[in-house]
Structure 1
C-alpha cells in the first residue's frame, strides 16, 4: 500500500491546498479521516462555481426548483453566515465565484444598455460583514449570446475595501463610490473583463488605490465623456484616458471599433503612467500615447490590426513613438507592410529610434511578391542600433499559403509527405535552387549599426514555400552581414530536406567573410529549433 504523503503535511499547508477546491469538494474531504473533518472548516477561502449547479439542474422541473443562479447565491449567503461560527479565528481571505447570467430573464441584450440582472445579490455578498477581511475577490462569468448581461456592484458597498489586495471581475456594471473617502489602500492587482463603468468611475477607482501596480483591462467600456458624443452608444471604449502613477504593468485589450466610433478612434488612448515597466496592447491600430515619460519601461507587446480602409487607422510605427524607450519589443501585425504604412503621407520613415532596445520579436505576414517586406525590415534594423537579439516568425499571407501543397498535414502519411517534397525538389533546376540577394534597400544601405556592433542571436521560424523566398534571403543576408553574430536558431519547416537551410548558413557566412578577407571572431553556430 502506497504511503499517505498528504497526511504527513502540516495542517496549515493542507488548509492552503483545500482553499483552491470548490466548497463542496473541500467539505467532501472530511470523509478521509478524523483529522480532515475540521481542516476544511478552517480554510480561509470560499470557492463557488455555478457549473455543478447547472449540471444537477438538467432534467429537473424548473417550475418547482430554484434556478442554478438562485441556488448558487443562496449557498453563498449561507456559507458567509457560517464563517463566524467556525471558530479558531478563521477569517475569510479569498472569495471565488463563477457565474452564468445567460439564462436570467432580461430584456437587455445590447451594449447600449447593459443593465444588471442579478437584483443586487452579488453586491450583497460583498457587503456581508463576513466579507470584511477579504484580500482576494475573483468573479468570473460565462459568456453566451447575451454578452452584455451583467451584475451590479456599487463600489461603496464593498465591506472589504480596506483589506482587498487582488480584485478580478468579469461582466460587472460598476457604480461610482458614494464617498471619496472609500479607498482601497492595499489593492495591488486589478483585472477587469467585459466590465462597464459610469463616466469617471474607473479613474476614481484607480485614484482610490494608491498601491496599485498591476492593471488588466480587457474590453472595458465607459460612458462617453460629454454630450458631444450623443450619436455614440451609451457605452464605448474610446476615447480612453487613464492616470495611474504607481502602475508598473498594464494589459489593455479593446473591442473592434465600430463604424460610428471611427472619429473617436482618432482620439485614441492616452495613458499617464510614469512607473510603467510592462505594457501589452491588443486591438485596432489607433492612437496610443503616454502623457508623461516612462523611463523604466522594459517590455512592450503590441498586437495591432489595420482593418478595411487603412486611412482611418493610426500607422503602426506612429503607435510606437511614445514607447521608444523600451528595452524589449514584441510586435504582431497582419502584414509587414503595416510597418511602413503612412510613410508616403509623412514624406519618409516614421518608425522611431529605440535607443535602449535589446530584444526585438516580430510575428508577421508578408506578401509573396512584394518588395515592401525588405523595406520594412530595413526600417526596423536601422531603428534598433543596440539590438542584441532578433526573433522572427515570418509567413506568407494566407492567400498564397492556401495554394501550397499540404506537405505538413498530420493526417497524411509520412511517405506521402516525403514524396511531395521529393517531387517538388526534383522539378527544380540548379538555378532555381539559388538564393537571390535581397533588394537594394537592405544590401546597399550600411546604416545598420546593430549588424556591425551588437546583434548576437537570431531566431527565425517560418514554413518555406520555396527555397528562394524572402525568409531564406533574409537569413542569408543576416549571417553574411551581422559581424558579431554568435548563433542562429532556425525552423524552416524542413520542407526542402536536400537544400535544408541549416546546412547552408554556416557555409554562406564562411564564404562571405572569405571574399572580404574578414575573420569570424564570433565563432558562429547554427541550431535547428525542435
Structure 2
C-alpha cells in the first residue's frame, strides 16, 4: 500500500518502511506507462528505486545528477526517444537535457503525417534536403504542407534567382491525392499545364513569389476542388488577371499587397468572400451575387478617385454584400478621408473601417457612412489620429448626416480623447436612434490586413486628450437612456 508523506518534499511510503528516492530511468518509463500522464502524486503504486534508498530522513545524495551535461546528454542519447523525453520530469536540472541529446528524428514509424511545416531561411542551395522532407510527407499521405522560406522575417533580402522550387514531381502518380492544404512562402511555384495530382487540394496560399497569367490558369484548371485561394505580396507579371472558375468550388479569393496589380476579372459563381489590397486596379465581377464578405485596403498611393471607383464597383457587382472591411491611409496632400459621393450598400450589416489620418482632417465626414448603409447593424472604427487638432468642426457638412434606425452597436478603437474624436462620437449618438451600445477603447488600434489577419499600428507616440471621466460626462448628455456607454483602456 503506497502512502504519500505530507512533507515539503515529495516522499513515498511503501509497505513497511519509509523510502526516500529519486527514480531511475526505467522507473520513470514504468510510471508513465502505468499512469498515462505525468501526474505522479494522484496515483498509488509500489515504487522501489535501485538508484538510492535512504532511511531515517537522511539527506539524499543524487550521484548521477552531478555529472556534466555532456555526459548526461550522451547517456540519454542511448535511450529511445520516449524514454529520453521521460527524464524531463526528474527535476529542473533534467528538464531540457533530453532535447539537446536528439540528433536524428525518425518519422518512418508512423503510418501517416497529417501536417508538415518547414520554416527557416533556406533557399535553392537546400533543395535536396527540403525535397527529402517533402517526399517523406507525400509518401505518408500528408494533408497539410507549409513551406515558409521567407527571409524578411529574419531581416534578410530575397534573391529571386535563389528561391526554392516546389517539387511537383514528388506529388505525381497519385502521391498528391491526400494533400488538401498547401501554403508556400518565397518558393517558385510553376504548376505544370496537365498536372492532375492536386484534385483534392482545398486551399492554396502563395506569398512572395512570381506569378503569370498562365500560372493562374494552370492553378484553376488543375485544382478542381479548390475553395480558398490567397495571393499575397506576389509579383504579377501580366497586364490582366482572369479568375475564370465558373465550374469550380472557389469560395474565397484574396489578392493582398500585390502593388503591381493589373486589371482583375473574377468569374466564380460560388464565391462568397473577396479581399483586395493594392493600387485600386480595375476590378470587375461576373456572377458575384453570392459574395457576402469583402475587404478593400487602400494605401496612401491610392487617390480618392481610385477609392471611389473601387467602392462603386463593389456596390454594383456585389449586391448581396453583408460584411465590409475598409482600410484607408490618405496621402498627405489629400484633405478628405472618403470620396464626396459614396455608393449605397443596401444589405450591409457589418462595417469595419480602419483609418490612419492627420488631426487636420474632419472626422465628421465618417458620418456619411450611415447614410449609404441603411441596413447597418454594427459599425467598428479603428482610428489612428496622429495628434490633437486646433481647428475642430462640430457640425456635419451638407447632407452627410442622416438618422439611422437599425444600427445597434458602435465600437471605436484607438480613442485618445481628442476633441475631433469626441465630436464624432457625439454625432454618432445623435443619428443612431436605435443604438444599444457604444464602446470607446483607448488601446492602440488594430488594422485588418486580409485573410483573417490583424496588425497593430505602433509607429507614432500620441499624447492623451481629455480625461476619460470627462469624456463620459460629455457623451452621456447625448446618449439615449437605453444606450450602454463603455469607455475602457482595452478590448472587452
> Partner residue of 1:155?
168
> Partner residue of 2:356?
365
- CA deviations 1:127-177 (Å, max 9, x no partner) are 569626222221111412235231112534424321111111122212332
- The Cα of 1:485 is off from its aligned counterpart by 1.2
Matches of residues 73-472 of structure 1 in structure 2 within 5 Å?
A: 83=108, 86=109, 90-101=111-122, 118=126, 122-123=130-131, 126=134, 131=139, 133-143=141-151, 144-148=156-160, 149-159=162-172, 160-177=175-192, 179-180=194-195, 182-197=196-211, 199-224=213-238, 239-244=240-245, 245-257=248-260, 265=261, 267-295=262-290, 297-307=291-301, 315-318=309-312, 320-321=314-315, 322-335=317-330, 340-341=338-339, 349=341, 351-371=342-362, 373-378=363-368, 380-396=369-385, 398=386, 400=387, 437-442=394-399, 445=401, 448=402, 451-464=403-416, 466-467=418-419, 469=420, 471-472=421-422
Contact 2:417 2:471 in 1 (8 A): no
Structure 1 residues 374 and 204: CA distance shift in structure 2, 3 A: same
- The Cα of 1:466 is off from its aligned counterpart by 4.2
- The Cα of 1:284 is off from its aligned counterpart by 2.8
Give me the whole-angstrom Cα distance separating, in 1, the residues matched to 2:119 and 2:179.
Answer: 19
SS at match of 2:229: strand
Structure 1 residues 457 and 152: CA distance shift in structure 2, 3 A: same
- CA deviations 1:280-339 (Å, max 9, x no partner) are 3333332333232142x3322222213187778874534533345321112110139665
Do structure 1's residue 477 and structure 2's residue 427 form an aligned pair? yes
Match of 1:505 among 472, 475, 491: 475
Contact 1:241 1:269 in 2 (8 A): yes
Give me the whole-angstrom Cα distance separating, in 2, the residues matched to 1:464 and 1:382.
Answer: 26
Q: Give TM-score scaled by structure 2 length.
A: 0.65
- The Cα of 1:381 is off from its aligned counterpart by 1.6
Structure 1 residues 188 and 313: CA distance shift in structure 2, 3 A: same
Structure 1 residues 525 and 243: CA distance shift in structure 2, 3 A: same
Q: Give TM-score scaled by structure 1 length.
A: 0.60
What do you get for the CA RMSD once the two structures are aligned? 4.1
SS at match of 2:425: helix
SS at match of 2:433: coil
- CA deviations 1:258-296 (Å, max 9, x no partner) are xxxxxxx5x43222233222333333332333232142x
Contact 1:283 1:305 in 2 (8 A): yes
> Partner residue of 2:488?
529
Give me the whole-angstrom Cα distance separating, in 1, the residues matched to 2:269 and 2:477.
Answer: 48
Give me the whole-angstrom Cα distance separating, in 2, the residues matched to 1:502 and 1:129.
Answer: 58
SS at match of 2:201: coil
- CA deviations 1:221-263 (Å, max 9, x no partner) are 3443xxxxxxxxxxxxx53322343122233222333xxxxxx
Q: Larger Rg: 1 or 2? A: 2
Give me the whole-angstrom Cα distance separating, in 1, the residues matched to 2:149 and 2:370.
Answer: 44
SS at match of 1:377: helix
Contact 1:286 1:314 in 2 (8 A): no
Give me the whole-angstrom Cα distance separating, in 1, the residues matched to 2:32 and 2:293.
Answer: 42
- The Cα of 1:507 is off from its aligned counterpart by 1.6
> Partner residue of 1:228?
none
- CA deviations 1:86-121 (Å, max 9, x no partner) are 3xx72344333234236xxxxxxxxxxxxx555666
- The Cα of 1:489 is off from its aligned counterpart by 1.0
Give me the whole-angstrom Cα distance separating, in 2, the residues matched to 1:440 and 1:393.
Answer: 22
Q: Out of 356-365 and 268-277, give the one that drifted further.
A: 268-277
Structure 1 residues 330 and 483: CA distance shift in structure 2, 3 A: same
Report how many aligned residue pairs link the two structures.
Answer: 378
- The Cα of 1:375 is off from its aligned counterpart by 3.8
Instruction: Give structure 2 stretches of 5+ with no counterpart.
Output: 1-9, 12-27, 38-76, 88-98, 444-463
- CA deviations 1:337-382 (Å, max 9, x no partner) are 66544x6xxxxx2x322111111111113443445x434531x222
